[in-house]
Structure 1
């Protein structure tokens, strides 16, 4: 099982078992970008965040710009959003988080579609996109994971279209 191999490698590398969080993302139709309400449990607390982001959908390596706002009352916010915007769908996942240098590594078990790896390189102001790609590629080699295993589509898109590049069992 590729997922288990990567998880064990990350446990050894980070000397931790990662941080487990449970997330439910509710997506809403938006004329521009992606809008979702994230409800998250983990690290001994529950939090909710309204997130808007824009990113290209054509490559596995994408630059993302987002705006986040903490939500004190997610139930009321969900009701307001559902009354004013069409709900697109929900994604529920168990996520293991690891931090390696400037890379956030996420191992996700997504309800209904499988297991996935996600890398987020938090770029420094003076770093180029090329440097971010190099960091990601180096980590993939170390984890013995082929770049074809990286998902080029958002989980919500996969659920809607059943378009999975590959996933781990």
Structure 2
């Protein structure tokens, strides 16, 4: 499985956060519209979602990570799906749907880290950092990179969020 170190945080000042991300990445970022459908799977087994993009392409993503609010290890795997609506229908019938999340994401690359600034329908503005680990990198190395970027982007401990956007919507 692939691995990354992740954090999720509430964004207090969208303009400031975007400005800092642009400076760190030396880019304007890339806008991505994503609709995620979460499927029911046995508890304790991670999460399974189908992510559909604006062009109707999709990815099936399974991931497992703790629901804690600091930098944490996420193990994941994903595959491209040629027909997202057909896959959604099959998985909905087989597993049932937990819920869905619609978001607009601005993606910035800072070294090996994906910086996502998300507008999530019904929730507001958030930021995610995903430090993509190479096979030989340790969790501690990934956490140090995440903590450094958190400082550079002005993320405070009280901004950190545990769980997923789906969890927040279900509350």
Same fold (TM over 0.5): yes
Aligned to 1:164: none
Distance 1:103 1:75 in 2: 30
Match of 1:100 among 101, 110, 114: 110
Larger relative CO (CA 8 A, sep 6+): 1 or 2? Answer: 2
The question of whether the paired residues in 2 share the 8 Å contact of 1:26 and 1:36 is answered with yes
SS in 1 for 2:117: strand
In structure 2, stretches of 5+ residues that fail to align are: 1-11
- Do 2:20 and 2:152's aligned partners in 1 also have CA atoms closer than 8 Å? no
d(CA) in 1 for partners of 2:151 and 2:17?
11
Q: Corresponding residue for 1:34?
A: 47
- Between Structure 1 and Structure 2, the one with more strand by share is 2
Give the structure-1-normalised TM-score.
Answer: 0.87
Once residues 12 and 56 of structure 1 are traced to their aligned partners in structure 2, the CA distance between those partners, rounded to angstroms, is 31
Distance 2:148 2:85 in 1: 42
Aligned partner of 2:138 among 124, 128, 132: 128
Q: Give the TM-score of the pair, scaled to structure 2.
A: 0.86
Mind listing any 5+ residue stretches in structure 1 that lack a counterpart? 162-169
The one of 142, 151, 154 aligned to 1:141: 151
Is 1:78 matched with 2:88? Answer: yes
Give the count of matched residue pairs. Answer: 158
SS of alignment partner, residue 66 of structure 1: strand
